[in-house]
Copies of this chain bind each other. A is one copy, B any other.
Amino acid sequence: MSELCIFDSVHLKNFASVVGKTESEGPLASCFDMCEKDEYFGKSTWEEAESEMVHRCINILFTKEKMHPKELDIICGGDLLNQCVASSFGVKEWGVPYLGLYGACSTFGEAVLVGGALVSGGFKKNALGFACSHFCSAEKQYRFPLEYGGQRTPTAQNTVTGCGAVLLEKGQGDIMVKDGLVGRIVDAGITDVNNMGAAMAKAAADTIRRYFAFSGKRPEDFDVIATGDLGREGYELCCELLGDSLDGLRDKYTDCGMMIFDMEGQDVHSGGSGCGCSASVTAGYFLPRIKNGEINRMLLIPTGALMNPTTVFQGQSICGIAHAVCFERG
């Protein structure tokens, strides 16, 4: 049995993305289905704002697909808030069977893997995978309330306010989900809550190395290899960790967290993070380019830092995890 999850005729039928204010001032602004300048998304709390973003994003997918929620078999997804509450409030209205996932910022990869397995295995005729994060709710929960005005270190990342959703279905289509690899928890011994990139880089390198070893593919077989949200700091670390073990990797390798913001012009330190980062960049930027043939094959590696503020205060390290998914032009 392969270590990979190999999917039988699973394609991404449609996708949608919604982002917030800072993202809509970044270089990928034109890629997203909706750019909301109001960080509250018309609501009165950050938590409600995040749920509203999930709700809008999935609604956009329903509209694009001319699909009624009743036609959807299952939703798999999650977010960074405690008890993944942005997701449960975001999807509850539709009454669709729901699997809540927690993989920190790797959740989008986990959602595609779990949804893909359910569709490929014939358990469900379709599945919606999504992940989201919101800068303001994440800062409040994980670091400081925004009102505190805390200074950020150069290694700190900027949680993306964004949501990405994809619809997986059995059959042939423009975007095939070929295979994937479930990641392992890797403890790099990082205890700095302002250096998530370092906490995740070792997990990313582990998953990349294992993916290429198990799949027999090589970096040159891909047009794009993209980690989720390592940011500049984590990206460099991941390259260092992989060293020369994968020829040609660096030519193809990018990071969604370095793409979504203008790393020089926007005050985002080491780049974007959050599960909305890889989800929105994939749904907004990469998937349309696979669909139109610009990209033939890509490896997406959403990366997560399993950070709990309480255990960090207790001196525990922040573990990382990364899942890999291979998308191919159908």
Partner of A121, one of B81, B100, B120: B120
Partner of A95, one of B91, B121, B184: B184
Whether the Cβ atoms of B314 and A98 lie closer than 8 Å is: no
Copies held by the complex: 2
Which range holds the interface residue count of chain A?
Answer: 35 or more
Whether the Cβ atoms of B47 and A97 lie closer than 8 Å is: no
How far is B149's CA from A265's CA once the two chains are assembled, in angstroms? Answer: 52
A166 within 8 A of B: no
Partner of A182, one of B98, B307, B310: B98
Partner of A308, one of B73, B83, B97: B83
Contact with B along A102-119 (1 / 0, CB 8 A): 111000001001100110
Whether the Cβ atoms of A124 and B185 lie closer than 8 Å is: no
Taking Cβ atoms with an 8 Å cutoff, the residues of A that contact B are: 1, 3, 5-6, 45, 47-48, 73-74, 78, 81-85, 88-89, 91-92, 95-104, 110, 113-114, 117-118, 120-125, 141, 181-187, 306-311, 314, 316, 319, 321
Report 22 cross-chain contacts, Cβ distance below 8 Å, ordered by A residue: A1-B122, A1-B124, A5-B118, A45-B311, A45-B314, A47-B316, A82-B83, A82-B309, A82-B310, A83-B102, A83-B104, A84-B102, A85-B311, A88-B306, A88-B321, A89-B316, A95-B184, A97-B184, A99-B101, A100-B306, A120-B123, A121-B122
